[in-house]
Amino acid sequence: MPDLGKYAFEVLSSYGVTFVMLLLITWISVRRARKVRAALEEVESRKVRNG
Amino acid sequence: MSLWEYANPVKFISTTDKVLPWIWVLAAGCLATGLIWGFFFTPDDFRMGSTVKIIYIHVPSALMAINAWLMMLVASLIWIVRRHHVSALAARAAAPVGAVMTVIALVTGAFWGQPMWGTWWEWDPRLTSFLILFLFYLGYIALWEAIENDDTAADLTSILCLVGSVFAILSRYAVNFWNQGLHQGATFSLDREENISDVFWYPAVISMLGFALLFVALVFLRTQTEIRARRTRALLAREGQA
Amino acid sequence: MRDLMLAFRAGGGFGLGLAFFLIVTVLVPFGVGPQTDLLSRIAPGILWIGALLACLLSLDRILALDWEDGSLDLLATAPLPMESIVTIKALAHWITTGLPLVLAAPVLGVLLNLPGPAYQWVLISLAVGTPALSVIGTFGAALTVGLKRGGLLMSLLVLPLYVPTLIFGAEVARRGADGLSVQTPLMLLAGISFGVIALLPFASAAVLKINLR
């Protein structure tokens, strides 16, 4: 851990906020991707079954 | 073989499916390298102390905030001219990512400004322009969400993107005129004179690359999602008719 | 022409915009306190913000009524090109809302203790700037015309577009109040107004055509 001196709070919170935001947008994107993919597969399999 | 091949949604999905894992790995690798290098292994700036470490996230996110809008502008133009659905959906997919980048740039800027300028927020031209850019992102996203018909939404948002771009540039000049700033000039330029030394430069460039790759990965993934969501809706609608 | 007649006959738009402008100006001293020196410093900006908000408030009336009763579809099939229709709409909005606001501004300036030399510049800057507000607003109204709950969305879309006009307009008024040269911001404000009037109707017309599809 490097010595951040008196600016430790600013530097650490900047990094913290960035990680939280990036993880959040990634997580939301991935979750919605899974959900939509599952929904599409469900609908497509139904179509195949019904002819 | 031409670029337009990827305008075919099936082709787009199969290709991006193949490259996406690589982009994710590269993005994560670049981000980890750039940020760990920057955070742990760079010296403090003699003037700014350890706050200089914020540069490894502040500059890349600010860069991507603008590039995301440019990408949306190009995608909107392609939609207007060539009517490729993937293009319109890619613009839609990019907007929230760009908005997040804008927020990161603003927040890290505030954390940086606090010790350096003694204030969290200053009505400085650059800061103000970014805030306005954020408002444009919000309006663009809200318009996409509000309109039910997909093609209408794509048409309207792409025109909004064009008009918005013109007004964003106007605002930039207006804001410059309105207040001279505290913000330092561009730290990074391609010819890179003496304003930044190598120790800061390399980790920052790797971090920029990481942000850019992460953006590409997210846009690919979200565009795939939009394509699938639209196909699902179409299939459901057909079922409903039958 | 028909729009003008209708707007005058209906009358409502007029009065409401003006009353809103009045209320905003009256509320400001309650918010910031009654010190006259402070009020006179912020008066030009307040008048600009008030006019802008009053303008925004009446935007959805530009197209919504015609959309509801179907006359917009009729206008679309009329021999008149869509570009001139939206220009006329914007003009009608300016005459019924913008112009009264411009004329009311000096009167409301008295309430805010507006400094003497600022009166003419507030008047001039609003006169030059409000047409741009109307035209930009017409674009926003065209974007959101078919939507339920369009009003709030329209504000979100239109307000960022108002930024340059507001900055230059308020700058003219402020410099005028301080007795500085107003030439540059006034030229830029006029430039924005002319540019917007010349170009934006094309975008508004395109948008309206898409919405009428």
Rg (CA), chain B: 20
Compute how many other C-beta atoms are within 10 angstroms of the C-beta atom of residue B38. 23
**pLDDT over 90 for what percent of chain B?**
32
Using CA of residue C60, residue C63, residue C66, residue C69, what is the dihedral sign? negative
Considering only CB atoms, C143 lies closest to which of B136, B156, B167, namely B156
Query: How far is residue A27 from each of residues A22, B117, B228, measured CA to CA in Å?
Result: 8, 35, 18
Complex ipTM above 0.85? no
Counting the structural domains of chain A, the total is 1
CA closest to B13 among chain A residues:
A37
Burial class (CB in 10 A: 0-12, 13-18, 19+), B217: buried
**How is residue C58 written in tokens?**
């009446």
Q: Is residue B8 included in any domain, yes or no?
A: no
What domain range is B165 assigned to?
Answer: 20-42+52-241
- Put simply, the chain C residues between 136 and 175 with a CB less than 8 A from any chain B CB are 139, 143-144, 147, 149-150, 153, 156-157, 159-161, 163-164, 167-168, 171
What domain range is A45 assigned to?
Answer: 4-49
**B46–chain A Cβ distance below 8 A for any pair:** no
Chain B closest-CA separation from residue A28 CA (Å):
10
- Put simply, the chain C residues between 93 and 112 with a CB less than 8 A from any chain B CB are none
Helix intervals (H) in chain C: 2-10, 12-32, 36-57, 60-68, 71-77, 82-93, 99-111, 118-143, 150-177, 183-212
Using a CB-CB distance cutoff of 8 angstroms, which residues of chain B are in contact with residue A3? 50
Q: Name the residue ranges covered by the structural domains of chain C.
A: 1-212
Counting the structural domains of chain B, the total is 1
**A17–chain B Cβ distance below 8 A for any pair:** yes
Helix intervals (H) in chain B: 9-40, 55-82, 85-117, 125-146, 150-178, 198-241
Q: If you ran DSSP here, which 8-state letter would residue C145 be given?
A: T
Using a CB-CB distance cutoff of 8 angstroms, which residues of chain A are in contact with residue B102? none
Enumerate residues 6+ apart whose C-beta is below 8 A from B45.
Answer: B51, B52, B200
Q: pLDDT band at A1, cuts 50/70/90?
A: low
Find the CATH number of the domain harbouring B190: 1.20.120
How wide is the angle at C-alpha C66 spanned by C-alphas C6 and B80, nearest 5°? 135
Q: Is residue B58 included in any domain, yes or no?
A: yes
Compute how many other C-beta atoms are within 10 angstroms of the C-beta atom of residue B149. 13
Alpha carbon distance B38, A14 (integer Å): 13
Alpha carbon distance A30, A13 (integer Å): 25
Mean pLDDT of A40-45: 86
Question: B39-53, pLDDT tens digit by residue?
Answer: 887 777 666 667 778
Selected for mutation to probe chain B from C136, C139, C143, C193 (highest B CB count within 10 Å) is: C143
pLDDT at B218 over 50: yes
**B225–chain A Cβ distance below 8 A for any pair:** yes
**How is residue C24 written in tokens?**
């905003």
**C135–chain B Cβ distance below 8 A for any pair:** no
User: pTM for this one?
Assistant: 0.86
Q: Give the pLDDT score at B99.
A: 95
Question: B54-102, pLDDT tens digit by residue?
Answer: 888 888 898 899 999 999 999 999 999 988 888 999 999 999 999 999 9
Enumerate residues 6+ apart whose C-beta is below 8 A from C40.
Answer: C112, C113, C114, C115, C177
Question: C77-134, pLDDT tens digit by residue?
Answer: 777 788 888 888 888 888 888 888 898 888 888 888 888 778 888 899 999 999 999 9
- Contacts across the A-B interface (CB distance below 8 Å): 97
Chain B closest-CA separation from residue C16 CA (Å):
26
Cβ within 8 Å, pair B171-C167: yes
Question: B164-205, pLDDT tens digit by residue?
Answer: 999 888 888 888 777 765 566 555 544 444 455 666 778 888
